Every structure is written in structure tokens, then in C-alpha cells.
Amino acid sequence: MTVKVVLYGIGAIGARIARCLLAKEGVEVVGAIEGDPAKVGRDLGEVVGLGRETGIRISDNADEVLSRTKPDVVVHATGSFLKEVFDQVMTCIKHGANVISTCEELSHPFVSDPELARQIDEAARRAGVSVLGTGINPGFLMDTLPIVLSTVCHEVRSITVRRSINAAARRLPFQKKIGAGLTVREFEEKIRTGAITGHVGLKQSIALIADALGWRLDEIVVEPIRPVVAEREVRSDYITVEPGRVAGLRQVARGLMGGRAVITLELTAYMGAEEFDSVDIDGRPEIHMRIRPCVHGDEGTVGIIINMMRKVVEAPPGLLTMKDMPLPSATPGSQVPT
């Protein structure tokens, strides 16, 4: 079955997804939606750097595109926060389209905003479509992966997940997102005003793990974002961080039950960091997994969105999380010409 896809959001991640989908068999990209006036009216292939025209003109009119193309699924990549994307998701549902989204708060919307989650779930059920928020993180590395690894444990006491990213090897927007090059005072001010948000999704990942394991947490504590200060000069292709300035950040969140942390997530992203992803499960048996270097965030997001896309189309209607989905895996057609 050929899956008809509309792309909603042609930013950095949306463009990567578009290039991959346009090269795949069994997928027909039938439309593209984007609010940036600089991209509206242009050919999708030109905007995403494909090197050829596709005949698909980018539009800022979601209703018109969805009504005309009648896609099986919308690949949605516009924002991180549920309130920001709520109307967009509801528009897709109104037109009878399944939705797979990179929105971090949509990975566990019931803990993000229960009322908005309820409205999406009810609308999706009425329309007979499914909605899933996922990505590399949240969506896989710090939640789905430890959930799957816990399968071999007949007793689990606690789970600790760490992700460490060398921001010097990432895109400039990512380096700005973590405050690289700022003074500590500038960093703290940008955190206070929301100009720097850091990683969004630790709370959602903890809730997802707890739900899968049937744990009733007393509380989820997301600690304040802390700057990582450079001890030596660190360079990327875009930024030079001098000693004493901010190289990046560290974030920690904990799921508490019975007075102790049963789930701990730690994300570190700074210029020059050692790269790894790790999962440690204190249980019977113990599990200690380490991936070096860490999984590339952008490429991993493209992979999981594409590999879960058909599963979303085939899923039961409603607002779903990764724990509700069939076992994730690479799918037929995952290898494409480069």
C-alpha cells in the first residue's frame, strides 16, 4: 500500500524528513504546509535542497491542502509545546488524517496538558484516526529504549538514563539553544525569560516509563537547568567558547515513589562533551547498556518518524504514546539510494 503523506512544517527537521520520504518507495508526498512566508509558493524540492523540482508547492493554507490531497498521514514538525501545535493537530484530525508529530510535549500529552490531550483524543476517536508524538528524545532513547530493555527483568527497582551530546558537532541552532558562548549571567537571564528552553521532554519521558511499568509516581521533579562552564577554549564551525563562558547545559529530572528516585534522567549537552547514551536498570537481572558515540539526534528523529509512520496509519484511533504502539523497528524500504 502506498501511503499518502502531507508534510506539515518544513524547518530543519521537516526538511530532512522530506528528503528521505521523497526518495522512498511506497510513499507519496502529496502536499506541504509551512508558515514561513519565505518558503510559501516555492517548490518543495527547491526548499529542502533536493536538487530537483517535485511539483509540490508549499502552502500556508492547511485546510486547503488537507482537503485537496486527503492524506493517510500528516508528518507534523512545527513546535515543541502542546499549546503551540494544538490547533494544527486538530485541523489534521478534522480532515480525517492520522498524525505523527515531533512535538516533544505530544510524546506524553496526558502529563503535558490533560485537558488538551483529552480534546485531541476524543476528536481522533470520533474521526477514526490516530495521533502519535515521537522522536529520538523524547520518543525513544530516554523512554522507549529503557522500557524495552526492562523486558528481561523480573524485578525493577530503579532506572537511570543518561544522554551526553557534544554540541560542537551539531547545528548552530542547537548550539544557540543550549546557550553556548554566553556568560553565566546571560545564560541565567535567557533561561528566566524563556529565550533558552533547553531540552523539552524529560517529564514526558519519565511519565512514559512509569506508565509502561505500572508505577504510580508520587511526583516528577524537573530540576532547574544548569550551565556547564568551559574550562578551556572550545570551537565549532560556528562558535568559539572561551574559558569561563557557557559551553552548554545539564538537565536532570526524577520520578519519585515512596520517598526515593525510581527514575532518573540526565541530559548533558555542551561543546566538547564526551558522547554517549546509557541505560542502567537496577533490577534482576541488572542491565547496563552504553552506546558510543550517542545516537545522532536529527538523523535518529528522521528514522523513527519514518519507521513509525505506517504503524500510526494502522493503529487504533485515539491519542497514543509509544508504549501503545507495536514493537518499533526499521521498516521495509529503510535503505534508500544516497
Q: What is the pLDDT along the chain (338 residues), one digit of tens a residue?
A: 799 999 999 999 999 999 999 999 899 999 999 999 999 999 999 999 998 999 999 999 999 999 999 999 999 999 999 999 999 999 999 999 999 999 999 999 999 999 999 999 999 999 999 999 999 999 999 999 999 999 999 999 999 999 999 999 888 888 988 999 999 999 999 999 988 888 899 999 999 999 999 999 999 999 999 999 999 999 998 989 999 999 999 999 999 999 999 999 999 999 999 999 999 999 999 999 999 999 998 999 999 999 999 999 999 999 999 999 999 988 765 454 44
How many Å apart are CA 4 and CA 26, to the nearest integer? 9
228 strand-pairing partners: 248
Distance, CA of 174 to CA of 282 (rounded, Å): 33
Instruction: Please state the pTM of the whole predicted model.
Output: 0.92
- Predicted pLDDT of residue 172: 86
Cα-Cα-Cα-Cα torsion 9, 106, 307, 44, nearest 10 degrees, comes to 0
Residue partners of 52: CB distance under 8 A and separation at least 6: 45
Q: How many Å apart are CA 197 and CA 194, to the nearest integer?
A: 6
Q: What is the pLDDT of residue 131?
A: 98
Angle between helices 114-127 and 82-94 (to 10 degrees): 10
Helix, coil or strand: residue 277: strand
Q: How far apart are CA 305 and CA 311, in angstroms?
A: 10
Q: Reduced to 3 DSSP states, what percent helix, strand and coil does the chain have, rounded to the nearest 5?
A: 35, 25, 40
Per-residue model confidence (pLDDT) at position 143? 98
